[in-house]
Amino acid sequence: MKSAIVTGASSGIGLEITKGLLKDNYKVYGFARDFSKTDIEDENLIKVVCDIINTSLLEEKVKEIKSKDKEIKLLVNNAGVGYFGPHEEINPKKLHAMIATNLEAPIILTHLLLRELKKNQGYIINISSITAKKSSPIGCAYSATKAGLSHFSEGLFDETRKYGVKVITIHPDMTKTDFYRNANFKEGDEEDSYITSKCIEGALEMALNQREGTVITDLTIRPQRHKIGKR
């Protein structure tokens, strides 16, 4: 059985991706700090309680998985955190959380698994953001972490493509999840003003089912209308 590692697997985009992979007969190692509100039970979902910015614990958990499972085919770096507002109003603790979660942890996790993914000619999926591609005046630090992740993906694909590794970056626009709970804005009320976690899972499924030798390296998913609501 093919295996996948998904970070931020307890809710939102990560949970939807996890459900899709289970449906496609993957064993999924889902990483999250808390699964108490996760509405899924499946024998092929192994819940790994881990704060991915705790590097020593992350290394320990990955080492344990690798010692038992040689079929790791897929890594989904999905976990993310965002704080929004004027840059001088976002405190250093929040800035560090964004940098560590959105950029440092995916780079470290990829490092820990890259040899296995080369052997298995696997996939690395990085969930970035539309903000990686444009100016983000009330989220410049957040967008910088996502731009870094996207740039890392581009270089990594060029480095590892000769080994059969596929690196896919997904850039979602405004998505209806609880991600914006810390912001003073949210998605619009109309259904065509946001995308859903299911939209992202469907795009990933499409990217994973290309003919051998074809890789979709960059996916941008946007709602038809641009509309943001206020809290």
Beta bridge partners, 30, equal 6, 47
Strand order in the sheet with 27-32: 45-49, 27-32, 3-7, 72-77, 123-127, 166-172, 218-221
Concatenating the DSSP letter of every residue in 22-89 gives: HHTT-EEEEEES--TT-----TTEEEEE--TT-HHHHHHHHHHHHHH-S-EEEEEE-------S-GGG
Q: Looking at the predicted structure, is the pLDDT value of residue 231 above 70?
A: no
Q: Is 223 helix (H, G, I), strand (E, B) or coil?
A: coil
- The rounded distance, in Å, linking the Cα atoms of 124 and 127 is 10
Residue 32 has a pLDDT of 98
Tell me phi and psi for residue 230, to 5 degrees. Answer: -105, 145
> What mean pLDDT do residues 10-24 have?
97
Q: ∠ at Cα 146 (73, 7), nearest 5°?
A: 35
The answer to whether 6 and 21 have CB atoms below 8 angstroms apart is yes
Q: What is the mean pLDDT of the chain?
A: 95
Q: Where are the domains of the chain?
A: 3-230
- The model's pLDDT over 214-230, given as tens digits with 9 standing for 90+, comes to 999 999 999 998 877 77
CATH topology for 3-230 is: Rossmann fold (3.40.50)
What is the pTM (predicted TM-score) of this model? 0.95
Please give the span between the terminal C-alpha atoms of the chain, in angstroms, as a whole number.
45
Residue 57 has a pLDDT of 98
Tell me phi and psi for residue 166, to 5 degrees. Answer: -105, 125
- The model's pLDDT over 43-96, given as tens digits with 9 standing for 90+, comes to 999 999 999 999 999 999 999 999 999 999 999 999 999 999 999 999 999 999
Residue 22 has a pLDDT of 98
